[in-house]
Structure formats: structure tokens, C-alpha cells
Structure 1
Amino acid sequence: MTDIKSPKKLIEVALPLDDINVASTNEKQPFTRNHPRSIHIWWARRPFVTARAILFAQLVNDPGYQRELGYGVNKKEAEIKREKLFQIIRDLVKWENTNNEEVLNRAREAIWESWRETCHLNRNHPQAAELFNPDKLPAFHDPFAGGGAIPLEAQRLGLESYASDLNPVAVMINKAMIEIPPKFAGQKPVGPLPEGEKQPDMMEDWAGAKGLAEDVRRYGHWMREEAFERIGHLYPKIKITPKMVAERPDLKAYEGEELTVIAWLWARTVKSPNPAFSDVDVPLVRSFVLSSKKGKEAWVEPVIEGNTYHFEVRMGKQPADAIAGTVERTGATCIMSQTAMPFKYVREEGKAGRMGERLMAIVAEGNRGRVYLSPTEEMIQVARKAQPEWKPEHNLPVNPRDFKTPNYGLNTFGDLFTPRQLVALTTFSDLVQEAREKAIADAKAAGLPDDGQGLAQGGSGATAYGEAISVYLGLATSRWSDMSNSVCSWNSTNQNVRALFARQAIPMNWDFVELSPFSKVGPWFSSVESIFNAFASIPANTASYSLQVDAATSDHAQNKIVSCDPPYYDNIGYADLSDFFYIWLRRSLRNIYPALFGTMAVPKAEELVATPYRHGSKEKAETFFMDGMTRAIHNMAEKSHPAFPVSIYYAFKQSETKEGSTTSTGWVTFLEAVIQAGFSIDGTWPVRTEREGRSIGIGSNALASSIVLVCRKREANAESISRRDFQRQLREEMPEALETMIGGQTGQTPIAPVDLAQAAIGPGMAIFSKYEAVLNQDGSKMSVHDALVLINRAITEYLSPESGSFDADTQFCANWFDQYGWSAGPFGEADTLSRAKGTSVDGVREAGVVESGGGKVRLLKWSEYEADWDPTRDQRTPIWEACHQMIRRLNNQGESAAGELLAKMPEKGESIRQLAYHLYTLCERKKWAEEARAYNELIGSWHAIVAASHEVGHAGEQHGLDF
């Protein structure tokens, strides 16, 4: 297929990266509502807006492609068209535009326009009918679908989407997001309204999957009421008695009332190692604080009486001499004898089956917030009455890094739940099947045709519809298990439950929370409501499919657009973790998807995660991962649609990001695997999803949490070149690519300096990877590591003031800064350097950028510059001075004031920005964090500064200023 005309896509040239990164970070905030992630928990999902932007840029032609093909489009026209595409991306990545059809249609129209252009270019290709149908977009495939962000956004953009994964939990999540909703788009709800609710208007809009979502809510309500009838006696209310009020006057307002219990707080116990207290069950508690909210503080006091103790809830701040807790980082302490109990002792007790639990406090619903109560014997006895009929016996993995409970005798998944939690979860799981039967009957009664085929058989009638409803109810039950297990803890700050999967591990927890499924805080129905709300951001617009397939052998990528977020090394053991949910999904949904839930646990042998405990050693695990990943990527290279690049997300571990660079262990090896698989790498875009704000310093959190690799299949007849030729091409081609990335002559928000080194790898690796090999002088093949060294050197040379049209004063200042920073240096050295650069110490002093005297020369910091500086009245204005005056104005007065200053010297704008990039790179190398932050913030604010400069009426004075 070497004769295919494949225009470069936007993602291979330029992106409004900062806009994407800011929106991606915003989406990760907890206040983002009606989010697809609420369907079910998955680990390390990419932000949905990131996937949306990357896919769009992967699908549309870069406007500069006509020049490549010899068309009469000049550079300026291409830049104007590119800016229109940037604006579409800026609108797409705003979460509030997720369902904005005007914005989405503009994106879809741009995709179609590019596709028809590509089809026209290839209209005479022998496979034109198969590959280039101008009336049908190619389908999309994600072979590592995971939490489904990328397939869902492909569907939103109008593509038939295929999501595949080995993990049945991931497959189930993707079915719920992309496969099931389009099947029943426009379907009116068939379930009966909950008692007391009004019948919706006959003209109710049931477009998309709104009707299905409403039925999930209605049958979820039925399940809750039915569950309460069966197990409500295990969750009794608590009556506030006169005796309680006598002991706690703050309860007077509730005297005689029965309060609904939100949660029971338990402490695990082990026997005291002190022989004098060998019968004492010592509580293991991190903190006895129940509420740290100002004015509503509460805590638990272990009241010791002889050789026994009991718990009492106290209101107010915990006194300084009270027992803060019994467990610290080094181990536990017996509250009776103060005997130390090292974790080794606690582990031995747990493994011997001698770990128990004691009720520590009760949390109830009050009119004005939480009501904390001391434990009662009645509540303890009710909890002990729970007798589950079933308990998951599947063993937890022997993975001490991520699974801590086996160290303490909690060896099976069933051990992670109290008997009452097991009763609740099995009850709701079983009710999923009853809801299924009820929904099928109601659908038939409502007139929905029935073909007798379920979802697994491709059915679309009443049977399949009833099963669809039960799928979401099964997911709701599985999702609720994250909040209903004995590894959950109480958040004393927010006064609510802290769910199990705060991170990708199952830790050991000492004092834990047992929620009521029927209260107002974290009840089972809250999971149903979350799923109901998630439907608001699910497109349900194009038939799509979710499949259980191995990425290394799948045929589903054939002639499809491919984007994926593969697992990275041993960062997350998805299969081990998802067993926690699989046990509940299997119980609820096995009769609907028997093949998907046919195994007792999630398949693990083929999972591409380098887990040493599974493969015998770290080396064998790494070999397994890289061999499997190379096969999977090779499969993509061979089968993906030849007119489109493939985008691959590479997720960095925190340990790999330090000092503004990445270690070679993962990143370099992954690049090697991609190249060995047959890809050339045309772009590398750093996607920042975890930062807290726009102000980026340097250090471990400064780098992107992911890099998107943009890949094309390497030509089969690719030749080898010499190291000298590779370096020559870097010198010739890198400057234009870097100019585009930093926003030169375009309107895009420039890439922040902290991201430039990673983004610039793309055009450099595009040169390196398009050849069969780059040969060193001795005939050996150049490694990716050595190529990266040369690419970074080319970036540094481009950004150096000596490489551009910088004035002599600026060249002197840059070199002096490199040597001395803001410190003073010898006059003699300064004199020699200034003469070499074509200026003088007196000259730069007159320019107002250095201080000279006493045989010393020192650069002035921006904070020392003139406050009322005006470049129109300055007789000598080096770029160095202009850049630092911009920083001073930005820091002291903000973007608008900086824009006013830039409007007075628009011809210096591009040079100011390039100098800022150079100085950031220099500061990063020297680990000058504060200085680096200043230059990074100037670049990050550049687009707003330029916009502000327009507003003051100087748009006509641009003279090369870029927007």
C-alpha cells in the first residue's frame, strides 16, 4: 500500500496542547458531574476530553498537507485553516460541551471533510472501494479498551466503535457505555413508576438512551424496596432514650426519636501480648477522631475499667492527653498495658485466625448533620444475626506490593466483607435476576416485540431490553461493593465513607466502616443514581461493540482507525484488582453473558502486566511484557487503516518522572518496542492530567502523566542512513517543527516549556524511526537512547539565543546567566565575554539589565527593573530586558497589563517567547525551580497576553507578532 496518498493529520503537526491539558485536569476534579466514569470504577482511565481531542486531531487532515502534495496553498493560508481546527478542539475539550450538538457537529463535519479529501486523493487506488468509501467513515478500534474513554469518544465523534479487552470487567463496562445504549435509542421506559411519583408527560423526550436510563432508575428503586423487605431488619434504626440524653445533653433535640443509622464504625482486635491482659481484645485504631469539622468535633474514648474497656463517643475536640490511636507506622500498642505490639505480632495473630472486631461508634442521620452515638449491645447483636448463604472463596493474589490483607489472615475476597455486608451484596445480586424477569415481562406488556434472544445472542427485543436493564443494576451492585467492604474507612474531615479503591491496591485497614444500604449516605441506590446520571454523557448515536479479545491476535483492527492506552509494565495489576468486582458481576450477570463470565476469576495468564510474582522474576516479567506488547503493537501496525496514524498513550509511573526528564527503563524501552513492531513515530504529545494548576515548576510532578505517541507504519523498503545524515536532517527539519510547537506564526496556545522537551521528541523520532536503521561510524545501529540525546541537543541548539536573530546584549546576558545566574561575577570575565558577543559591559549596564561596580558584574532580577518602563521611550531595549519586563508586569499586574506592554513592542514578541523557552530549559537543567517557574508561566499565559495586547488597539502594529 505504498502508493496510498495519506495526508498528514493535524496530530502529526500541531495541537493546542495547553488547552487540552487544562481541560483534562479540570475533568479529573470530583465536581465533574454526569460523567461516564460513574458507570463503574476502573483504574487509570485517561480523561474523556483528552481522548476526544486526540481522536479529532488524528482524524482531520492538517491544512499544510496540500503543500506537501504540491497544491497551491501557502503557509499563511494553512495557518489560518489550522487555527479553525484548533478552535474546534478548544470547544470540544470543554466538559460543558460534551452534549453540545453544535460543537460536535462542527467536529464531525471537519472529520467528514478530511475523509472525503483523502478518498478523492485515492480514488484511483486498486483498493479504493474497500478502503476509501467517501460515504462511510472507517470504523474505530481500541485493543486495550479498559475503562472505555477512547471508544466512547470515538462513538461520540460519529465512528462505529469497537472496544476489546481481555478483562471481562472492562468488556462489561464498555458494553454498558458503547454497545447497549445505541441498541435501545429512543425506547420509552416500560417499568412502573415508584410509588408517589407522577406519570411523565406524554411528550417526554426519550431521545438517545434516556428511556433506558429511566428504566434503570425505576427497577433500581424496586430492587431497593424489595431488598428492604428482605433484609431491612438487619439495619434497624436507633432510638434516642432518656438515658442517652442524660449522658449526652446534646442529644436532647432527638429524645424519643428513632434515627436512621448511616454507618457502624468497627475496630479490628487482637489479643494482648501481655500475659496479665491475655483475654483483652486490643482495638487496632489509627485515629479515634470521628469528626474534625469545626464546631462539630467528635471522638471515641476507650474507657478502661480494671481489665476491661468499652467505647464512649465524646463531643468536642479530643483532649491532648486522650489516646489518639493505637496503631502507628511501627506497630500497635495495647491500651491496657501499653505493651508494644509490632506488626509481626499482629500478622501472626491474624494468620492464626485470632483477629476479631468490636463496635466502636454508630453514625446516624440527624436533622442538622451526623449524630455520633456510643455502641449498644442491641446493635452488636443485630450485626451478629447476619448469616450469609454464600461467600466468595476465591483467593487474593500473593502480591505483597498491592494486596496487604493476606499478611493478616484475610486471604480470600470473601474475607474482605463482614457477614452483614455479604448478606446485603448477595441479596442485591440475586435481585438483579428478579428485576430482569420483571423487566422482560413489563417490556412485553408494553408492546415491545420479542425475538426471544438475549444480549449475548444479539437480540434487540423485550428479552434483550430486560437484560440490558439488569446489566446496569448488576454494575450498580458491583460498584457499591467498593463502599461496602471491611477495608473502607471513615473520613473524619468530610464525615463520610472513604471507599476501598482510593488507589490501585487493596491495603490493610484497622478501623473500618460498615454502611447501611438504606440510609442517605452511600446507600446502594446511590450507585443506581450515579449510573442514571452517567447516561447524560453517553452518546448512544452509533452502533458499536465490546469484545473479549487478545490485542496480540485480534483481527478487529483490520482497516480501522486505532487509538489505545495499553497497560504499562507493573504499574497496575488490572486482572488481580478487578477480581474484586468480577465476583459480584459474575453472580449477577453470568446467565446473561455466560461466555464472558465462564471462568471463576478474571483471566490472567495473557495479561500484559509485568508482575514478578507471576513470572518468577523481574527480568522474566519484563521480557514477557515487552514481547507481548511488541506483538500487540505489530498487530496494530499491520492491520490499522493505512490512511490514518495510530495513537498510543504511554502512561508514566511517578518514579519515572524526575528532574524534567524520564528514566530509560520504561520510556526508551517502550519506544524501542514500538519501532521494532514496524512503526515510525511521527509525534509525541505530553498529556497532563494530574496537575493542580497552570503554574508548573520542575520536579517529579512537572512532567505529563501520559505521552501520546503518533505512529505510522514504516515503509517496507525503508533504507538505512548514517549518523551524519541523521544529524543533518535534525538540523534542517527540527526548527520548523519546533516553531510550530511553540506557536510560531500561529494562533495556538504554545506548548509550555516544561512539556516542550517531550513533545519535541516527536519530530526528532519521526526522522529516526522512518529509516530501517541509523548507522554509527562503526556500522552498529544507533539506539533509541543515543537518538534521544541528539534530538535533545538539536532542541537546545534551536532555543539558544546564538542560533537566532538575538541582539548582542541578549547573547551576553544569556551566557552570563548560564555561568552565574543572579550572582555577581568578575568584571574581567564579563568584559571578555561582552567583547566576544559584540557589546560591552557599559553597554549592557546602560541598557538597564546589569549592575557593575567594585570589580563585579551582576544581572538584575526582573523584580529590580524599572516599574514605569516604556519600550517606546527606551533607546536601548535588548530582548533580555523586554522578556524580564514582561515577567515583572505579569507577576505584579497580570495578563492584561502584560498585554498592554507587549502592544508597545509587538515586533519583539516572537523573540521574547523563544528566549523564555531557552531560559526555562537552562533553569531546568540547573534545577533552579523558582526561575524556571517564572519563564514557564510567561509562556503559559502567552495566548492571553497576546489577546490582551489586541484589546488596547494595537492589532495593526503586529509586525510579526503571532496570535
Structure 2
Amino acid sequence: MTSVVPARTSLESTFPAAMLSEVGTQESWRKEVHRPATSTHKWWAKRLGTVFRGILTSATTPDEADAAVSYGSPFDLAGAVVLDPFSGSGVTGVEALKLGAKAVCFDINPVATLVQRQAVQPWDREALEAAYRAVELACRAEVDRLHRTEDGRTVLYYFWVATVECPECSDVVRLFDSPVFSKNAYPKRVPKAQIVCPECLAVQESRYDFDTEKCPNGHLITQRGAVQRQSTTCRQGHSFKTLGALNGARPGYEMYAKMVANSDKSKSYESITDWDRKLYDECVKILASLPESAVLPRGELASGNNTDQALKWNFREWRDFFNARQLVSLSLIATAIRDLGGSAPEREALCALFSGTLEFNNLFTSFKGEGTGAVRHMFSNHILKPERTPLEAHPWGTSQSSGAFSTLYKSRLHRAHEYKMKPVDLIVHEKGIERFTGLSKPLGASICESWDSFALAKGQAAYVVTRNSAETDIPDGSVDLIVTDPPYMDNVHYAELADFFHAWLQRMQPYAGYSDEETTRRSGEVQHADPVEFGKAIEAVWAECARVLKPGGLLAFTFHQARISGWVQVVESLRRAGWVMTAVQPVKGEMATSIVKSGAREPSNLDSVVVCRRAADGARNPNRSMEEALATAAKELTGLRDAGIDVGAGDVRSVVRGSLLAYLASTGADLDESVAMQVDSLATESIATLLG
């Protein structure tokens, strides 16, 4: 059976990159609004649904046709099978299903599989609401009681500070780097701020830029805290390395303030009282008395690129990431969800929702300030970075709080359900970018867990399982199109971070067959800091993709990589697996203003869409020389820049590297260190030429 992919596609020749970058930029600012089906739970490096819709439609549009028209029309891929071997949050699967195709979503990580299942399967709204109310009835009253003031008001947030002992004098030092603990997101416009006295923890109102203040107890407060970068100074003037003072233990933690919801809907900052301390002590006792059957996180951290920082602060077990009140409250919610019983999609959705709530309720979160969402989630840095002044939120929450189970229920599950029933797409129209309904099919796939059941499924179907995509049960020549976003070679190691969620989920068993192993790290993971090992692992997946693809089919994936060794390994692995790169198309990637990207030496705004066909099908790279490959890359990048899309040095470097290496691989050249240096030199020259 032949593929639905034309002999020459728009994806390879007339890809509407500028248009897709424009709508992609709009989506990137609010992914949870524009693509809520894939936003029910955290997953890393989530790609843009608009761009992947464009890849799918362009890959099945002949090169002489207008792919932009295909993108903005009720395009129909009925009968086609689309595979994503690195499915992540399920973006490819969702966009394929919306276009009428059947989707195969594989990922080696079970947390990713849970996210994908939420993205594609239907929920019964009444059943979902009934399950939510049952959980609320079982646990909310007690969770609320543990977040009360003495006069019965609700505490929205508790503010904590880490403490260490001075190695010289044993003085207990509070690790404030500033006494300003709450200020507006736009402080010059709204200078009012809240400050704490580091000596006695009295809370008072001031300005974010105050010079000196006196607390109610007469202590002088200045802008300088005890911590300056990696060093701490005690009250006796002894300076020492903060980490060195831990002596193999976690830091201590002390409550110093709370934000309270008042009866008139106002909020107030108040100091911690003996009542608050006694209530917390009660939580310590409750935690110790919880039954063995209660859901609590289990498992230990293993060394890794994204876990080592937490290990340096002596966080050894996943339960160390939570204080006693958080563990008690979260356990009450998790146990109530688990005890709903059965394997209904609605119970599964609440398991995923609870897991997502963990991101905002742990010792690694912090306060963002006034005028914005209050909780800075723990993965804003893509690593497990301990906070010296963590924020403890009310995990069930109220209408005045953020990052809570009840608020995320509405913003995530309700929004995702509405989107599945009536998908919305971003389209460039006469008046600019507008949201359109009616272009995509509703999402409500039956989930299959084997190829045999998938092949027999009627109607909308998705084959969603946790597995190594180098070893599948898909018969030869069964897939029309493969569209994916492979993991980074380095930087963000998904399994190391996903274990934070898995530590709870393994006890909850969101669906039958969910992994009960203590870690999501698996043999066969593609991510590896060693370029050679990365190349071997991803080659095995590319080889399996070549086996299951129909004759004339196509592989397309998005990629960007700061290290040229990553590009070399991807290109070499493709060649060894029998693929030829037929195009490298730059297009809008993730949101360009993230904390992680803003800290990069050459932050990237664009992804490269790498388009491949099998050598066995007679594929050829279209460029006939290095100069032509370089000119092709320059033309694509210039087209985006001239259309007003932000193109930076990192984007030029990545796209030029990909284009040149693709051509060289097609000639059989050995992509050794000298070739890599030559490619890098040409990429640097291109930066100067294109960006001036």
C-alpha cells in the first residue's frame, strides 16, 4: 500500500514558514489557551500545535499547491496513519486526529503517556464533575482546616525561609538575600512592597527600593540579606559557603509570613503567630500517623544532569521536596482520587490533574509577586533548583489562589474538555490572526494498547502506549507519515524530572498498566550527554521508523541543538538508518522569553523542521553543492526575517549547520571533526552576513 504523501511535498519546497511562525508566535504566549488538550499537565519542550498542523498539512500537500490554504481549510487525512515515536505531550497525535488521521503515540516515559491519554481521549463532563465532587467531599474540609488562621480566615500562602548553622559560632542564619519578599511585577509603576525583619520576622509594608527601615521591634532593616550568591554571613560577621554549612543534611525551614484571604475579598500579609506554629506541629504529628495505605511519594533521587543540584542540597528522597503540611494535604487529595476506584477516563483525568498540582505545591516553588500569578512553579529553570525562600500554597485552593487543585480543575480540565468538543485553530485572516472553529474534527479517540486492536478500531482511534520506539509491534510498511520532536541530546533530561510526578502516580495507578517501578528512567532512552551514545540510541529509533513506513512515506521532525556534535549525531544516525534529508525548514519554536532561553548564550527562537525520505525509495538531497546548500538556508532564514519573524544568531547557526550537514551526508562525506569545524565556520560567517 502506498502512502498518502505526494512524491514532492510543500513541506520540502514551498513550506509556509512565515505564516506558521506568525500564528505560532501567537500560540506560544498562551499555549494553555490555544491548545489546552495538550496542556493538562507539565511536559518539557512542548512544541506548537499550529506548527505541527502546518507540518502535517504541508507533508500531504503537493509542492505545486498552496500549503497555507491547506493549513487554513478543513483538511482531511482520513485513512492515514501518523506515528510519533517521541510523543511527549501528544501534540502530533492531537493535530493528526483533528485532521481525521489515526494516531500512534509512543513514548518511553509513563508520565508522558499519561499526558497523551488526557490529550486525546474524551471525558464525560457529568461523570468528571461527580468524581471531582466526591474527592472534594472526602478531603477538602480537612485540607482547609490545616490552612486557617486562629480567627478562621483562609491562609492562601505561607512564606518560608531556609536556615543553616554558621560553622564557626552555630548561629542559625536565615537565608534571605533581601528582606523584600513581595513586590509588584511592575515595581516602578507600583512601588509598594512587603518586607520582613530578618532578626525577628516582623512583617511590614514599605517600598521595593527602600533604603533603611525600622521594624516594630526596633531592629534596623537594610536591603542586604545574609546571602550573597553562594556565600552567607551570620550575625557575628562570619562568612561561609552556604552549601558547605549543610553537613550532609537538608537546610532547616522557618515560616515567617502568610497571605490571608479576608471576608471582604481583600488579602493581607501578616506575621506568623504561635497559632500558626502549633497548627504546623499538628501536621507533623498527622503525617507520622497516616496509615500505610495513604498515598505518599516514594523513591530516591539518582544522580543526573537535572537532579544533581537538589542532591547537593541533600534532597535524597522525593518526599523531601515537601513539608509536613504539604505531604498531609496532598496525601488526602491523592488518596481520595485513588479510592474512586475503577479505570474510568474521568478518574484518570483527576490523577493527572493532581500530578500537575504538585508542580505548584512543593519546597521548590517561590512567590512571583503582586500583579501576576502568585506561584512560580518548580520547573521554571528546567532543573530541580532548591529555593531559599519557598512558598507554601493552599493545595486545594480558593478562587483567590493559583496553582491549586480546584483552580487547575477549571483552567485545565474544563478548558481542555471544551476544546476537545469544539477545537479552535489560529488562522491568519484579513483582520489579523483569528480563532476559528469548524476546521478540525472533535477529539474523542478510543485508546488502543496494541497494533492489532488499533488496526481493527472503527472511528477515531489512537494507539497510545509507553514503549521504546526502537522496538514496536507495527508491521512493515503500515505508517503513512512520521512527525515528531526528538529529545535534546543534553540539557533537559525528561526522566530525571518526570520522576518527581511519578513518585506519587505509581501509588495512584491512574490507569490499568501504569508503571509501578520506582523510576521512569529506562534502558533505551535517547537522551544522553555522550554524543556517541545519543547517536546510537536515536539511530535505533530511526531504523524502526524506516521499517514501519510505507513506500513513498516521509519523516519530519523539529530540532535545534546548541552543540554541533548533536547535529552531527542526528545527521549521521539518519544516514546509517537509511534516511536522506530532503529539506531543512526553519520555523517558530518555543516561546522565546522563557527563563531558560533568556539565559542562553545564543537563545533560539526557531526550530528546524528536518524532512527525510528513505534512501531505498530513491530519495536525494536537492542541493548539488555546499554553496547551494548554504544559499538555500540563507533564503529560508531571510524569508522569515523579512516577514518580521525574530531570527537570532543561534537560529542562523543551527539552520545552517543542519543544511550543510544534510548535503554532506548525502555525498557520503565523513562528518569528522574537521568537517564540523568547517561547517561551524560557515555558520559563523552566515550570522555576520544575515544579521549584519
**By the TM > 0.5 criterion, same fold?**
yes
Q: 1:138, CA displacement in angstroms?
A: 2.5
Distance 1:287 1:28, change over 3 A: farther
**Aligned partner (choices 301, 311, 315) of residue 396 of structure 1:** 301
- Is 1:299 the counterpart of 2:183? The answer is no
Distance 1:264 1:3 in 2: 58
Cα-to-partner distance string for 1:262-307 (whole Å, 9 max, x where unaligned): 01111121223343xx3x4321123322332355733333364xxx
**Higher RCO (Cα < 8 Å, 6 or more apart):** 2
Distance 1:55 1:733, change over 3 A: same
Q: 1:622, CA displacement in angstroms?
A: 3.1
Q: Which residue of 1 aligns with 2:560?
A: 651
In the alignment, structure 2 segments of 5+ residues that lack a partner are 213-220, 421-441, 445-459, 594-599
Q: Which residue of 1 aligns with 2:688?
A: 925
**Aligned partner (choices 60, 70, 81) of residue 139 of structure 1:** 81
Where does 1:758-837 land on structure 2 (aligned, <5 Å)? Answer: 769-770=665-666, 773=668, 786=675
Q: 1:545, CA displacement in angstroms?
A: 2.2
Q: Which residue of 1 aligns with 2:314?
A: 409
Alignment check: 8 A CA contact 2:578 2:614 kept: yes
Q: Which residue of 2 aligns with 1:509?
A: 387
Cα-to-partner distance string for 1:707-744 (whole Å, 9 max, x where unaligned): 1110000037899xxxxxx9993399779968985899
**Aligned partner (choices 217, 221, 241) of residue 342 of structure 1:** 241
**Aligned partner (choices 381, 394, 402) of residue 278 of structure 2:** 381
**Aligned partner (choices 350, 361, 364) of residue 257 of structure 2:** 361
**Aligned partner (choices 412, 417, 441) of residue 535 of structure 1:** 417
Match for 2:350: what amino acid?
A: L
**Aligned partner (choices 653, 669, 673) of residue 573 of structure 2:** 673
Cα-to-partner distance string for 1:40-68 (whole Å, 9 max, x where unaligned): 000111111111111111122222xxxxx
Q: 1:765, CA displacement in angstroms?
A: 6.5
Q: Which residue of 1 aligns with 2:117?
A: 175
Distance 2:134 2:484 in 1: 39
**Aligned partner (choices 616, 621, 626) of residue 715 of structure 1:** 616
Greater gyration radius: 1
Q: 1:581, CA displacement in angstroms?
A: 0.5
**Aligned partner (choices 206, 217, 223) of residue 135 of structure 2:** 223
- Is 1:610 the counterpart of 2:507? The answer is no
Alignment check: 8 A CA contact 1:17 1:750 kept: no
Distance 1:286 1:148, change over 3 A: farther
Q: Which residue of 2 aligns with 1:33?
A: 33
Distance 1:398 1:323, change over 3 A: farther
Match for 2:566: what amino acid?
A: G
Distance 1:361 1:712 in 2: 60
What root-mean-square deviation, in Å, do the aligned CA atoms of Structure 1 and Structure 2 show?
Answer: 3.7
Bigger share in helix: 1
Distance 2:175 2:245 in 1: 9
Alignment check: 8 A CA contact 2:84 2:92 kept: yes
Alignment check: 8 A CA contact 1:687 1:707 kept: yes
**Aligned partner (choices 197, 206, 209) of residue 316 of structure 1:** 206
Aligned length: 616
SS at match of 1:514: strand
Where does 1:140-539 land on structure 2 (aligned, <5 Å)? Answer: 140-178=82-120, 180-181=121-122, 209=123, 212-239=124-151, 258-275=152-169, 278=170, 280-293=171-184, 297-302=192-197, 304=199, 310-317=200-207, 319-321=210-212, 322-324=221-223, 325-334=225-234, 336-348=235-247, 351-352=248-249, 355-366=251-262, 367=264, 369-386=266-283, 387-388=286-287, 389=290, 391-399=296-304, 402-436=307-341, 467-494=344-371, 496-516=374-394, 517-519=396-398, 520-522=400-402, 523-529=404-410, 530-538=412-420, 539=442
Distance 1:733 1:233, change over 3 A: closer
Alignment check: 8 A CA contact 1:18 1:752 kept: no
Alignment check: 8 A CA contact 1:347 1:407 kept: no
Q: Which residue of 1 aligns with 2:430?
A: none
Match for 2:140: what amino acid?
A: F
Cα-to-partner distance string for 1:78-120 (whole Å, 9 max, x where unaligned): xxx33xx32343x3xxxxxxxxxxx4x2x22xx5xxxxxxxxx
Q: Which residue of 2 aligns with 1:686?
A: 586
Q: Which residue of 1 aligns with 2:454?
A: none
Distance 1:5 1:533 in 2: 34
Q: 1:430, CA displacement in angstroms?
A: 1.1
Where does 1:840-879 land on structure 2 (aligned, <5 Å)? Answer: none
Distance 1:570 1:739 in 2: 27
Q: 1:405, CA displacement in angstroms?
A: 2.4
Match for 2:414: what amino acid?
A: F
Alignment check: 8 A CA contact 1:682 1:763 kept: no
Distance 1:327 1:139, change over 3 A: same
Distance 1:791 1:298 in 2: 49
SS at match of 2:624: helix
Alignment check: 8 A CA contact 2:196 2:202 kept: yes
Q: 1:425, CA displacement in angstroms?
A: 1.2
Distance 1:690 1:682 in 2: 24
Where does 1:694-713 land on structure 2 (aligned, <5 Å)? Answer: 701=602, 703-713=604-614
SS at match of 2:616: coil
Match for 1:364: what amino acid?
A: V
Alignment check: 8 A CA contact 2:32 2:39 kept: no
Distance 1:644 1:511, change over 3 A: same
Where does 1:3-42 land on structure 2 (aligned, <5 Å)? Answer: 7-30=7-30, 33=33, 35-42=36-43
Distance 1:4 1:301 in 2: 65
Distance 1:924 1:760, change over 3 A: closer
